[in-house]
Structure 1
Amino acid sequence: MNRSKMYITTAANNPIWGAMYFGLLNFPVESPDSYALACADVGGPPCVPNPFEQPECATDDPATQTGMSYQPHRMYTMGPLPGGGADVGLVNRMKVNLVAFGSIPAVATLTMRTPVVDGEVTPLSVHIWQSTPGGRASSCDPSFEPAPSALVEGQVDIYLSDLSIDGVPVELGPNCRTERPSDLFLWGDFASGAYTAGGGGPLGSYEGLHPGSIVPLTSPVYQGAFDGRQIPASAGIDVAPFVDCGSESDDLSAVLTAMASGPNNPVAVTQGALVSSDGTVPFGDLAKCDPISGNCPLPGPAAPAMPPLPNGEVP
């Protein structure tokens, strides 16, 4: 069955931390005459054709296509270290409940990290498409108003440790992990509330949340962020099979795969507002409140409601 194998909930006192580089594009972008100009005021975010919906009358003529402002950002996940400082790349570490051999209760520590590539921690990329006042309307249907879209994408490696099955500890070894990273495509859940990179809001990855792109994303404004990819419709996260679990004499990888791996696992996330408005990140003390805005990172946002399971399944 296509069933979610784990129900992971992070409490408000155990949030996912992150440092965001806000607004990566410099305007104008190198040669603005060869790109679409700013959607609204001069100096604003550049325009791209809306890649997710267009009026029925739109053609290859850019004038018939609705333009959206495009804003890219970058986020590095991290976690506070016990003695101070930040563990960059850590997404979260928590206890999870599993089921072994179909019916036996099990508990393990699940750790998620963004991959390290060529010695560098990979970030999550935040993309926002939004209509702006004075933006580029379609010449064939000026009344057409597309909905905003937001996408947080990246990859995570998943590790399991400290397993106990029916109360009995089971040795998994130091590197029990998925054989490949899981792809994240977290879409802004605008039906549940607004989402902005700075203000946060609801995000999710499950069937029916977002239709994906209707065309490959090729505008030079993307600066290689998509390289002509067509973004698929929202679906749950696939958790790959596990490898290197147990010992040479007792390989438990297949058992862990049966317990925790599977396709189309739904995800719901609530991002909090940015804390440091003075342009700095307090890496030595991630819980430090922002002296300008008064915002504090703790407690984090409340856990969102459980997203719908695929194929109409019930918990």
Structure 2
Amino acid sequence: MRGEPTRRAARLAAVAAAGLLAGLLPGTEPASGGQAAELPLAYDCGIPGGSRPVTVELRQGYPASATAGVAFQPGQLTVRVPLPAGVLPSGTVGVSGTASLAATISSGGSSLATDWSGLTATVTPLPGSGNGLLTFTGPVAPVTVSAPGAVVFTAGTLSLDLSPLQTVPASPSPAATPSGGPSGSPGGTALTLHAAAGPGRLAVSCTLAAGQQGQLGTVAVGASAAPGTPGATASGSAGGSPSSTASTGATPTGTASGSAAPGGSGSGINSAGPSASSSASGSKPLASSGKPTSSAPGRPGAPVISVRPAYHSGVDTCPPVPTGVLDPARLPPVPVGHGVHVIPPAGVEFPPNPACAYADGFANVAKLGQATLINDPARQPTLVSVNMTRRFVVSWQPPVLYNEADSLGEMHLPVADSTFLTYGFVPTTAKMEFTSLGLLTIVTVGNTNWNQPVLSTIGGYQSIRIFDVKVNGVPLDVGPTCHTAQPVDLVLHGRQDDYLPGGGDGKPDYTIQTGGPLSQTDLFIPAFTGCGSHGESFDNLFTAAVSGPGNSLNLMQGPLCTPASDQPNGCEPEIVVPDPPRHR
């Protein structure tokens, strides 16, 4: 009789492993289904001193096909904007900002004017010439069309909100920093970048130049095999070649021009915003509750186009901001060079910079060949809280071109329920409790303007306990302290590189601001201890069934909510819950 519960326990340990991988959930991005095409467009941008012509590069992928009544997901939008010298105030050494792109979605005589807002550009150092290149990125909302036909996406007005950055002595006293700079930056002078307040911010509105139509791409929507299923995710968005158009020629019949209606504030990347502007065919206003935004058909029988998030969080505030110190063991070595600056210097801290995001995905246990859904987006998922940019390490003087931003993160998952089949047919359930062992250290290295990939690493430690195990409804007592004997070392990786020659690695991009896919391909699960009761230990059985290398974690992070930022800040009307990644 002792052998039967022992065999059961060995298979039940699988539950622990799957949940264990979930423990830190920071991450992800919407699937675009293929490579994105680049579209250069001529804009006229209103800046101090008058209007200037600027060539803006847009990049976005689309699924090759979709199904009527089923939501499909356009790819992440990237907007690269050159900043001519003299646009920013004198003394500016860096710039960050947000952007929004007015877009029109058209199909069969109907069109919907929307606003892809919440695009963000991280701090970008400027060379001495004052010229710069800002790269804004962000996801956009899924789209549903009620009838078959070609769905055309057209770009319109581009709005920028720029924050110039100035250099001031890092020390709180007026005394100059001693020669040699802070520790780790030999020969450098410690500088702290501060965003200029009030009049220092620069709002720029760019309209398409004459002759520019702005067609971004087309998706072929086919007839629904099962009518009446709006809101599901189109399988076509997960694969296939892109149908992006890199042409500035005329758009197909029925599409709107590249310009959006004045004052149009549409659904944005998360159906945010006070209203959706009416196009030639009209549209319903977007309620402040974040309900779907839809077009009104332009003629009898014309399709209805709607833009909405796949899941609703109903949450517009972040958890308390995590406070603490970066894990020095997870920080890269500081480069050596005359122009290397570590900001702030030792003993000085930036004020808290709160942010948060949802993340979900799959944990894969190699020994079991099973995947478990983590932070189920349909069951009140929890938020990752972030304290942004606790430290910068920068150098924009050749030969050392280096840009690093370090942040803190924290996530506390609720107790999770897991169900699987033991022996392939016996239903088994268990509860999993995740315990964060300290904060996450988030390191981002690279700069898009230097043609470097931007690499993000999220590291931290976690423990897992399993309890309330039942096999075919019969309790199996594993005791109150069945947990991993050593911390689980989580090291998630994300990459942004689609702007590199050849399109980078061809995979969807990740940034901490916009979200995207995060993964760990070789997660080691430690041995288990404390598993058993009534004098019987299941430690070795759980360890043999679950522990070891070769496990993986694939997560999808939504865009950050940054409550201290100006609108759009990704928080209202609600924080976006991403779709889980389409591969496990």
Question: TM-score when scaled to structure 2?
Answer: 0.32
Alpha-carbon RMSD across the aligned residues, in angstroms, is: 3.0
Match of 1:3, SS state, is coil
Structure 2: runs of 5 or more not aligned: 1-364, 497-505
For residue 192 of structure 1, report the CA deviation from its aligned partner.
3.6
* Partner residue, 2:408: 74
* Partner residue, 1:95: 417
For residue 163 of structure 1, report the CA deviation from its aligned partner.
0.8
Q: What is the aligned residue count?
A: 207
1:110 aligns with 2:432: yes
For residue 295 of structure 1, report the CA deviation from its aligned partner.
4.8
The verdict on how the C-alpha distance between 1:202 and 1:291 changes in structure 2, with shifts beyond 3 A counting, is closer
Alignment of 1:1-315 (within 5 A): 3-4=367-368, 6-10=370-374, 11-14=376-379, 15-25=381-391, 37=395, 39=396, 63=399, 67-77=401-411, 90-98=412-420, 100=422, 104-115=426-437, 122-133=438-449, 135=450, 145-190=451-496, 191-206=506-521, 236-278=522-564, 293-297=571-575, 300-307=577-584
For residue 267 of structure 1, report the CA deviation from its aligned partner.
0.8
C-alpha distance in structure 2 between counterparts of 1:163 and 1:189, whole Å:
38
Q: Which amino acid aligns with 1:69?
A: N
For residue 4 of structure 1, report the CA deviation from its aligned partner.
4.7
* Partner residue, 1:50: none
The verdict on how the C-alpha distance between 1:183 and 1:292 changes in structure 2, with shifts beyond 3 A counting, is closer
8 Å CA contact 2:559, 2:570 repeated in 1:
no
CA deviation digits over 1:235-285, x for unaligned, max 9?
Answer: x21111211112141222233334433322111011122224227xxxxxx
C-alpha distance in structure 2 between counterparts of 1:6 and 1:92, whole Å:
21
Q: Which amino acid aligns with 1:7?
A: A
C-alpha distance in structure 2 between counterparts of 1:172 and 1:189, whole Å:
40
8 Å CA contact 1:12, 1:301 repeated in 2:
yes
8 Å CA contact 1:68, 1:131 repeated in 2:
yes
For residue 293 of structure 1, report the CA deviation from its aligned partner.
4.4
Match of 1:24, SS state, is strand
CA deviation digits over 1:81-127, x for unaligned, max 9?
Answer: xxxxxxxxx23532224565787542211222211xxxxxx111111
Q: Which amino acid aligns with 1:181?
A: P
Structure 1: runs of 5 or more not aligned: 30-35, 40-46, 48-61, 78-89, 116-121, 136-144, 207-235, 280-289, 308-315
C-alpha distance in structure 2 between counterparts of 1:169 and 1:296, whole Å:
40
C-alpha distance in structure 2 between counterparts of 1:4 and 1:24, whole Å:
40
Quick check: which has more Rg, 1 or 2?
2
The verdict on how the C-alpha distance between 1:258 and 1:166 changes in structure 2, with shifts beyond 3 A counting, is farther
C-alpha distance in structure 2 between counterparts of 1:102 and 1:263, whole Å:
23
Q: Which is richer in strand?
A: 2
With 178-187 and 4-13 compared, the bigger mean Cα shift is at 4-13
Q: Which amino acid aligns with 1:94?
A: A
C-alpha distance in structure 2 between counterparts of 1:179 and 1:100, whole Å:
24
Fraction of identical pairs, as percent: 21
C-alpha distance in structure 1 between counterparts of 2:543 and 2:420, whole Å:
11
The verdict on how the C-alpha distance between 1:23 and 1:184 changes in structure 2, with shifts beyond 3 A counting, is same
The verdict on how the C-alpha distance between 1:183 and 1:177 changes in structure 2, with shifts beyond 3 A counting, is same
Q: Which amino acid aligns with 2:583?
A: M
CA deviation digits over 1:204-243, x for unaligned, max 9?
Answer: 111xxxxxxxxxxxxxxxxxxxxxxxxxxxxx21111211
Match of 1:23, SS state, is strand
8 Å CA contact 1:6, 1:260 repeated in 2:
no
The verdict on how the C-alpha distance between 1:189 and 1:160 changes in structure 2, with shifts beyond 3 A counting, is farther
Q: Which amino acid aligns with 2:526?
A: A
For residue 3 of structure 1, report the CA deviation from its aligned partner.
3.0
Q: Which amino acid aligns with 1:302?
A: D
CA deviation digits over 1:3-58, x for unaligned, max 9?
Answer: 356522132134342210001026xx7xxxxxx53x3xxxxxxx9xxxxxxxxxxx
CA deviation digits over 1:150-203, x for unaligned, max 9?
Answer: 111111111111111233111222221011111111111544422222222110
The verdict on how the C-alpha distance between 1:263 and 1:104 changes in structure 2, with shifts beyond 3 A counting, is farther
The verdict on how the C-alpha distance between 1:257 and 1:99 changes in structure 2, with shifts beyond 3 A counting, is farther
C-alpha distance in structure 2 between counterparts of 1:151 and 1:295, whole Å:
29
C-alpha distance in structure 2 between counterparts of 1:254 and 1:132, whole Å:
49
The verdict on how the C-alpha distance between 1:129 and 1:189 changes in structure 2, with shifts beyond 3 A counting, is closer
